[in-house]
């Protein structure tokens, strides 16, 4: 079964600095994808970035990028130039179940951006 591990319950970063949120995973599927979601206190899960296991390059979306190390089974999220609005819970997730019908989430990392 697929498993996601996020070892940082909480992280603090100064505004305008970069921060890395860790995610390791375990899967036996030869082809898979990894998602990162942001959840502000309002509750909505906001899709940030996706990495496919066979993608040649690490994914980037604006200020978000993935440090994807397939051999180490890690997909760390890097947020550059942090903003106060980045304060939220961040979840790493992997599709699981037959036909990948569901997302299995890590426990999340609560990021706080300080002014």
Partner 1 sequence: DTEVTQTPKHLVMGMTNKKSLKCEQHMGHRAMYWYKQKAKKPPELMFVYSYEKLSINESVPSRFSPECPNSSLLNLHLHALQPEDSALYLCASSPRRWAASPNYGYTFGSGTRLTVV
Would you tell me which residues interact with partner 1 (CB under 8 A)?
31-33, 35, 37, 42-47, 50, 52, 91, 95, 97, 99-103, 105-108
State both tokens at 72: 């180490």
- Using DSSP, state whether 9 is helix, strand or coil: coil
| Residue 78: CB minimum distance to partner 1, A | 18
Q: How far, CA to CA in Å, does 26 sit from each of 3, 51, 87? A: 5, 15, 27
Tell me whether residue 3 or residue 16 sits nearer to partner 1 (CB atom).
3
Tell me how far apart the alpha carbons of residues 52 and 35 are, in angstroms, rounded to a whole number.
9
| Residue 92: CB minimum distance to partner 1, A | 9
| Residue 1: CB minimum distance to partner 1, A | 13
């Amino acid at each position: 079964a697929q498993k996601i591990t996020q070892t940082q319950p909480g992280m603090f970063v100064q505004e305008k600095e970069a921060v890395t949120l860790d995610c390791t995973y375990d899967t036996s599927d030869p082809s898979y994808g990894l998602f990162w979601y942001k959840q502000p206190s309002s509750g909505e899960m906001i899709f940030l970035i996706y990495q496919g296991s066979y993608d040649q390059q690490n994914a980037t979306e604006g200020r978000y990028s993935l440090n994807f190390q397939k051999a180490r089974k890690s997909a760390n999220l890097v947020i550059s130039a942090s903003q106060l609005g980045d304060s939220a819970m961040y979840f790493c997730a992997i599709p699981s179940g037959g036909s990948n019908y569901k997302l299995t989430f890590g426990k999340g990392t609560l990021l706080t951006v300080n002014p």
